[in-house]
Amino acid sequence: MRIGIVFHKDPRAAPTGIDLVRLRAIAGGLRRRGIEAEIVAPVPKEGVIGDAIPVRPLEVLRQRGAYDLVKTCYHYSVELVREYEGPVVCRIVRVVDHESPKRDEPNRRRLMVCQDFIRQRAAALILNNRENQERWRNLYGDQPPVVLVPTGCPSEIPRLGPNPFAVGEDVILFLGSLGAPRMVRHLNEAARRLEGRCRVHLVGLNKTRMYGGREHPLDPLVVDHGELPEDEVWDYIRHARMGLAIAAGSDPFDNDISKIVSYIRGGLPVLAEERIVTNSLVHDTGYGRTFAFDDPADLVAGALELLDNPPHHKRDHAVEHVIREHSWDRRVDVYVELFSRLIG
């Protein structure tokens, strides 16, 4: 079985974000199962990433029989497979309609054109959660069939390394992209209100310029590390006191926050805003707490509660739960079954 995984940018040049973590995990997992999975991307020549995963130029899609099936990763990935004649499986993060999410307004028309292509062309659609599955059905009906494959976590993580933070510093960690202006505002507010008690650190990128035309600046009290290699990130998770998750907006379907899985996998208690659909992990494990939507005072109260009474006794159960139920291996299982069914 030969599978082409179509990525919309050069996976060797881009920073290490969750998009590349997921790409390497799924492609590498498929290859370990004996499936000839390759990444197809807008690159000038062939190469490799990760654990010897081949990366090939887009031209390979024009070769008849190059792949039994191709899988796309994001909305814009589908724009690269219009000339491919074989079966296509598409994945998108959230379903866009004529009004929401509000932050997608600058790109709404292009995103909906991508969704129309998926409706007409895809053999299956991959979504993260049932909220987006229901939105898709309301917009497009039952075509194509939807399969749920949320973001996962590694079963094994690197050995614990040295503390990257200042000695004696209590750290609230925000991991991942700041994808909406309100996320920056809440992060800044948390840093100001908790000054003197703990320090807020960001490992990720401020991407607010993509949603509204200008970048919303971070408060100087927020320690900004930018994006870091995946192996290094685990030390930031394991040496922090809690992981912070902030909603992108008021709509739950727009708030599938994958960092919650990573926090718990690294043994870090979670402080998460309400209306995040991934909060089910916090509730299932009891490893953290949620705070009221759009309520900085409750965010601070929750942070102080976790600092003063960390749920250490629930740590082992929480880590075991995400490894058992949410590992990348479990996600690859779903893809293997889906591809086998579609190819026959």
d(CA 233, CA 158): 10
Expressed as residue numbers, the domain containing 223 is 171-324
Against a cut of 0.85, is the pTM above it?
A: yes
Task: Verify that 137 and 44 share a domain, yes or no.
Answer: yes
Q: Please check whether residues 222 and 253 belong to one and the same domain.
A: yes
Same domain, 229 and 142: no
Q: Is 163 part of a structural domain of the chain?
A: no
Give residue 256's pLDDT: 95
Tens of pLDDT, residues 130-170: 999 999 999 999 999 999 999 999 999 999 999 999 999 99
Residue 214 has pLDDT above 80, yes or no: no
Regarding whether 144 and 257 lie in a shared domain, the answer is: no
Same domain, 268 and 141: no
- Same structural domain, 14 and 148: yes
CA distance 13 to 211: 23
- How far, in Å, CA of 86 to CA of 215, rounded? 41
Q: What's the CATH number where 201 sits?
A: 3.40.50.2000
Number of folded domains that form the chain? 2
Q: Are residues 216 and 290 in the same domain?
A: yes
| pLDDT at residue 14, as a whole number | 76
User: Cis peptide leading into 311, omega within 30 of 0?
Assistant: no
Give me the pLDDT at residue 212, please.
67
Q: What pLDDT was estimated at residue 213?
A: 67
The residue ranges of DSSP E strands in 10-52, in sequence order, are 36-41, 47-49
159 occurs within a structural domain: no
What average pLDDT does the segment 205-222 reach?
A: 87
Whether 186 and 280 share a structural domain: yes
- Together in a domain, 86 and 108: yes
Mean pLDDT is lowest, of 9-23, 132-146, 184-198, 280-294, for 9-23
pLDDT at residue 51 above 90?
no
pLDDT mean across residues, the chain: 96
Q: Which of 17-31, 86-100, 199-213 has the lowest mean pLDDT?
A: 199-213
Q: How far is the C-alpha of 151 from the C-alpha of 70, rounded, in Å? A: 19
- Report the alpha-carbon distance of residue 75 to residue 87 in Å, rounded: 17
Residue 307 shares a structural domain with residue 236:
yes
